[in-house]
Amino acid sequence: MEEGFDGFTVEKVAARAGVSRMTVYYQFGGKQDLLNALFDHVAARGRIDRLGEAFRQPDPLDALAVFIGVFCGFWASDRVGIRRLRGWGYLRSEFESTGHERDAWRRQGLEMIVGRIRERYGVPAGDAVQDVIDVLLALTSFESYDVLVRGGREEAEVAALMTEAARAVLGVGGEAGG
Amino acid sequence: MEEGFDGFTVEKVAARAGVSRMTVYYQFGGKQDLLNALFDHVAARGRIDRLGEAFRQPDPLDALAVFIGVFCGFWASDRVGIRRLRGWGYLRSEFESTGHERDAWRRQGLEMIVGRIRERYGVPAGDAVQDVIDVLLALTSFESYDVLVRGGREEAEVAALMTEAARAVLGVGGEAGG
DNA sequence: TTATGTTTATACACACTGTATAATCGATCT
DNA sequence: AGATCGATTATACAGTGTGTATAAACATAA
């Protein structure tokens, strides 16, 4: 964080871990693998327990709101770090194949929630489900959060804004769920 | 493109330009500056002439559609390259200050279009304008395009999908403009 | 004690960045 | 033609970081 991405050397990581450089290589293999592990670690930390709370909501629109709130909370916890990690991911050549796998969790969650919304509210229409899910995926991505958090919005405001926009896209704009 | 971001060395850039390494340093200063110049060059190439076409549309909703279409076309022209350039930007420490300046053009365009939509259609409400603009900015960003283009969508389909979603966010969902 | 896995120190090869220096080339101006 | 100035190039070098190899030290459990 302090020394920028260029300052992220194996040497310094080892030093801060109170360990020799060789140990890092022994444990992780190389810098790529180290960053991969860090990426996965951060992602794992993101599947916060509170996420179950979202799916326990009886109204799927509330579930959506909580779902978005949880992710925003996670991103807010280390915005710059997550941004850099994702930026680094965009540089990798394997991104084409493995890229958005990292967002697989969010996709799964959205699919489930949209399914429930469709059951109860009848929208979106069957042939538009995949489109809507992808749009929501983009709309509620970290990058979108990063854009919205500027202009002086608090984390909660961004979450509320995202939720509102998501409802508009879903076609359940005005009427609230809770 | 072929050798990944790690393969992007000053040496190779010089070689492909048919020039010595020293010349690159003489002209650009260093690798950072070279990448900055490349970033700006690509961005400048993006302000395609066709963009004026968007603002010449009498109906601001058509303007929005053309506007989105032009950007999608630009991104489609070198998707991987633009992704990497942006990914690199996310790594820079100065991102906090200069980050989204690169999207200033898109913001300006959206502000103008949303202003015209507001004049004619009365939405979005005055106190929500800034929120809507930011949401549109996120929704129609390159990263969103990158998400949507997966799942086998053509560039035109992505543009149409984005436009539709943008209208929903604006609150002019169903009724078309052209 | 022995075997196994982990950590460490040391050394090295390699690639890339960035700087310095001096020579060369080309075009322009006098 | 000769002098001047900017741009290009060759060469050399320092510095830094990655990654590999090797052997020694260490801990732990069988």
Work out the average pLDDT over A105-132.
94
- Cβ(A176)–Cβ(A61) below 8 Å: yes
What is the pLDDT confidence band of residue B62, given thresholds at 50, 70 and 90? very high
B9 touches strand C (CB under 7 A): yes
Q: Which of A13-27, A97-111, A133-147, B83-97 has the lowest mean pLDDT?
A: A97-111
Quick one: pLDDT at residue B174?
Answer: 66
Q: Do B143 and A148 touch (CB under 8 A)?
A: no
Q: Do A134 and B151 touch (CB under 8 A)?
A: yes
Most B-contacting residue of A5, A92, A130, A143 (CB-CB within 10 A), to test interface: A143
Q: Is the bond into B124 cis (omega within 30 degrees of 0)? A: yes
For residue A175, pLDDT beyond 80: no
Q: Which of A153-162, B44-53, B108-117 has the lowest mean pLDDT?
A: B44-53
In order of A93, B19, B21, B39, B85, the CA distances from B15 in angstroms are 22, 6, 8, 20, 20
In order of A54, A62, A64, A117, B59, the CA distances from A57 in angstroms are 6, 6, 9, 12, 42
B22 touches strand D (CB under 7 A): yes
Interface membership of A138 toward B (CB under 8 Å): yes
Q: Which nucleotides of D are covered by protein (CB under 7 A)?
A: 7-11, 16-22
Strand D near-CB residues (< 7 Å), B 132-171: none
Q: Do B92 and A5 touch (CB under 8 A)?
A: yes
Strand C near-CB residues (< 7 Å), B 28-87: 29-32
Q: Which of A47-56, A96-105, A144-153 has the lowest mean pLDDT?
A: A96-105
Q: Which of A104, A148, A122 has its CA nearest to residue B135?
A: A148
Q: Which of B100, B120, B102, B97 has its CA nearest to residue B38?
A: B102
Question: Nearest CA of chain A to the CA of B29: how many Å?
Answer: 18
Q: pLDDT tens across A47-87, in order?
A: 777 888 999 999 999 999 999 999 999 999 999 999 999 99
Cβ contacts of A110 on chain B, cutoff 8 Å: none
- Collapsed DSSP state (helix, strand, coil) of residue A171: coil
Using the structure, give the distance in angstroms from the CA atom of B6 to the C1' atom of C17, rounded to a whole number.
13
Q: Which nucleotides of C are covered by protein (CB under 7 A)?
A: 6-10, 15-21
- Token digits for A126? 């069957």
What is the pLDDT confidence band of residue A134, given thresholds at 50, 70 and 90? very high
Work out the average pLDDT over A19-42.
95
Question: Nearest CA of chain B to the CA of A18: how many Å?
Answer: 26
Q: Is the pTM of this model over 0.85?
A: yes
Quick one: pLDDT at residue B178?
Answer: 40
Looking at chain A, which residue has its C-alpha nearest residue B5?
Answer: A91
Quick one: pLDDT at residue B173?
Answer: 78
- Token digits for A96? 């084409």
Distance CA B145, CA B142 (A): 5
The closest CB to that of B169, out of A87, A130, A165, belongs to A165
Distance CA B72, CA B46 (A): 10
